[in-house]
Chain A
Amino acid sequence: MLAESLALSAVLFVIGVIGVLTRRNAIIIFLCVELMLNAVNLTFVALSRYYGMAGQVFVLFVMTVAAAEAAVGLAIIISIFRHRQTVDLRNINVMKG
């Protein structure tokens, strides 16, 4: 059962990574980041069956942080949209040396 769970979370994680790397829309990238977080959560939960409850406790923390991150992240995205009328990352490239 563990192997399948880990495999599933790995697949979810890789999907998230590919989404972050390839998509242009900030909202989508944001969703993919959430997907990666939840893939990790799944790993924690799966492993907690064998290594104790600490994994499940950690998942609660990750969820809390993810909620906060979602709030801040979405606020930023809204703010960017208000300034530029777009959330396409190709157009958001002022952070450079």
Chain B
Amino acid sequence: MALSSSHPLASTIAAWMWLLPVLPLLGFFLNGALSLVSRAHIGPADPDMGHGGHDASVGGDAATHHAAGDDSHTDAPPKYASLVSIIGPGVILLSFILAAAIFMAMRGVDMSTPFIQHYWQWMPVGDLKLNFAFQLDQLSMVMVLIVTGVSTLIHIFSIGYMDGDPGYARFFSYLNLFVFFMLLLVLADNYALLYVGWEGVSLCSYLLVGFWFSDKINADAGKKAFLVNRIGDVGLLLGMFMLFANLGTLDFTLVAANAGTLQFGGAVVTTICLFFFFGCTGKSAQLPLYVWLPDAMAGPTPVSALIHAATMVTAGVYLVARSSFLFSMSPIACLTVAAVGAITALFAATIAVKQWDIKKVLAYSTVSQLGYMFIGVGVGAYTAGVFHLATHAFFKGLLFLGAGSVIHTMHAAYHHSGNTADAQDMRNMGGLKKAMPITWIMMWIATLSIAGIPPFSGFFSKDSILGSVYEYSGNSILTNTSWLGMSGHTVLLWIYGIGLFAALLTAVYMTRLMLYTFHGPSRATEDEQRHMKEAPWTMTGPLVVLGALSLVGGWMNLPAIASFLGPVGGLDKWLDPVVGHATLVITNGVALEVSHGTEVALLGGAILVAITGIVVAVVMLRPASLVPKAESPAEHGFEKVLANKYYVDEIYEGAIVHPVFATAKNVLWRGLDAGIIDNLFVNGSAAVARGLGWIGARIQNGSTSVYAWGIVFGAILVLSVFSFR
């Protein structure tokens, strides 16, 4: 309490910040209890009843289990559904209101030091003294606002989307639990508590990806998400161990204060940072551990929007920004982060261009955009990375919810006609703008935003990242760092080029998604088209709000050149106390200024690239000539490689999963478990006991005189031992 008592926030509403995560936790318990009370409805629907024979090959079509409105589901709706609909989004809304109030309180006071509240001593073990404490500073405030705000909208959307699902209460309780862990993650004041949140969100991701677990493909996707994340988490854990071994503390403030004692650019700090970043590649789906994210689309679409686009996957970006004091001390780690981000951005964007599943396109798009964020935080432009994180939460959340709305409608239509085609495949869609105009407009806003068309939010955030890369290539500590035999200058210019090219692909694949889904002729039957209608207001409402945020999100942090639009660099100033110092270390202590001409050229280039992408897509793609999935010809050549995602899953399967399975089966199971433990130890000790028993039985033959001889010899033996000693 010593630190917090003197802080100007201590006497304000911020003292209630413990309620931020506690409210969702309460929601989890209440909804979980309701789910248990209505026990008959706890599991997924009977697979034979809900979606007789729908194609589930796409990795768990959300809508197949979805009640999709009305008919054929004659069984009673889940009990307590209306109560759950109030508690579930309600607690998150309260949390958001509290967060907004705390934000208002923060604006008025001096926030040069973070506001820390100690609640209790958590793990006092020897030198390791871990407190259960929350730290509120500008960075965690931004994250809290994004998490609670976007969560509120997605919870409301879920009321419509999950309507009638047998696991309705279970769904909301998991979703509430996720928000709790996510808030724990961003509010933690030390790495260990952050790690608790980090693991907790993984758990919720696992539970929600495999939400409809009666389909094996969904359960497998959940498992994959969980296991791949564990691989990355080992990295984070090792980084924490090294940090503690070298600095003796895990508190953010103490690590920041003592980071200077580590050798600048030395092996220790570089290793710690690389371990941390390895953790980020798992959580934030970067190469080489991104493979779980596309599979995670097996979960319900609101889950994809919340966890796998807007919040959880950005935890890695948050971690790097939070550890900016460490990363800025290791130019090599910085360049690694940025380079991996750039390669991932390009890699995933190319895959997205040839995907047909609407959610898969968005999944690879997310991987690609996360790559951009890592470029930002990698080169030291922490604000730019967090800025993109925020705008991405808006437009990608919107895209996923829009996709959810589309799938919902598609499935409702298929439900009427008894069609068993894939409701998520864009080849089966087309012309949906007539049926769902709100979704259509909102999706276009998000598309223009992610493609980087001004004045949509994505334009400003993406440009701020690419602009920083260009600036830092010229005059920063990264410039002359040698990385894999290349100078930092070269590496950064490459990253800039790759970023631009990935931006082009982004515009292409997003326009492609829009054209194939909403434009051109409908590829559904007449009967199905009649049943396509706009989603209910609980679903379109969040779309509209997110659409508005995607539109104006850029005003958070306008670049200097856009000063005619409003105040400049809001987020820059806001985050300066947290990451400003680290950025200055990267830039050799000078605030970088780019000439007006250069900035105009950079912006112009970015806009040109975005427009080119959209034009290319519009000119090249022919939605009219597209045929439904069932009649589509197979891809050839490089297209086939892209459609099959570079065969990365197959390569991992062959290179890692299969050898691990083979080792487990032949060496560990048959050799170690069955051979040594079962045979040698378990059966062996039994055989020894049986042998001794056999000998004993022969001695105990019932003849009293033999026993008497035994007693006498025993006595003689004992006596002789004692007397000859």
Chain A residues close to B by CB (< 8 Å): 17, 20-22, 24, 89-90, 92-97
With A and B bound together, what is the CA distance between A92 and B705 in angstroms? 10
**CB pair B704 A92 closer than 8 Å:** yes
With A and B bound together, what is the CA distance between A20 and B696 in angstroms? 23
With A and B bound together, what is the CA distance between A23 and B476 in angstroms? 107
B108 within 8 A of A: no
Instruction: With a 10 A CB-CB cut-off, give which of B700, B704, B712 has the most chain A CB atoms.
Output: B704
B2 neighbours in A (Cβ, 8 Å): none
**CB pair A93 B704 closer than 8 Å:** yes
User: From DSSP, what is the main secondary structure of chain B's interface residues?
Assistant: helix
**CB pair A93 B712 closer than 8 Å:** no
B704 neighbours in A (Cβ, 8 Å): 89, 92-93, 95
Chain B residues close to A by CB (< 8 Å): 696-697, 700-705, 708-709, 712
B700 to chain A, nearest CB (A): 4
With A and B bound together, what is the CA distance between A97 and B712 in angstroms? 21
**CB pair B696 A89 closer than 8 Å:** no
**CB pair B702 A96 closer than 8 Å:** yes
**CB pair A97 B700 closer than 8 Å:** yes
Can you list 14 A-B pairs, Cβ within 8 angstroms, ordered by A? A21-B705, A22-B705, A89-B703, A89-B705, A90-B703, A93-B701, A93-B702, A93-B704, A95-B700, A95-B702, A95-B704, A96-B702, A96-B703, A97-B697
A21, A90, A94, A95: which contacts B709 (Cβ < 8 A)? A21
B361 to chain A, nearest CB (A): 76
Among residues of B, the one whose C-beta sits closest to the C-beta of A95 is B702
**CB pair B702 A20 closer than 8 Å:** no
B701 neighbours in A (Cβ, 8 Å): 93, 96
A25 to chain B, nearest CB (A): 12
B712 neighbours in A (Cβ, 8 Å): 17, 21
**CB pair B702 A94 closer than 8 Å:** yes
Which 5 pairs between the two chains have the least Cβ-Cβ distance? A96-B702, A93-B702, A97-B700, A97-B697, A89-B704
A73 to chain B, nearest CB (A): 13
With A and B bound together, what is the CA distance between A92 and B708 in angstroms? 14
Among residues of B, the one whose C-beta sits closest to the C-beta of A22 is B705
B696 neighbours in A (Cβ, 8 Å): 97
Among residues of A, the one whose C-beta sits closest to the C-beta of B698 is A97
With A and B bound together, what is the CA distance between A96 and B703 in angstroms? 8
With A and B bound together, what is the CA distance between A93 and B706 in angstroms? 11
With A and B bound together, what is the CA distance between A20 and B705 in angstroms? 8
With A and B bound together, what is the CA distance between A72 and B700 in angstroms? 24
Instruction: With a 10 A CB-CB cut-off, give which of B697, B702, B705 has the most chain A CB atoms.
Output: B705
A52 to chain B, nearest CB (A): 24
A91 to chain B, nearest CB (A): 10
With A and B bound together, what is the CA distance between A20 and B700 in angstroms? 18
With A and B bound together, what is the CA distance between A90 and B639 in angstroms? 95
B703 neighbours in A (Cβ, 8 Å): 89-90, 93, 96
With A and B bound together, what is the CA distance between A96 and B706 in angstroms? 11
With A and B bound together, what is the CA distance between A97 and B692 in angstroms? 13
Among residues of B, the one whose C-beta sits closest to the C-beta of A17 is B712
With A and B bound together, what is the CA distance between A21 and B708 in angstroms? 6
A22 neighbours in B (Cβ, 8 Å): 705
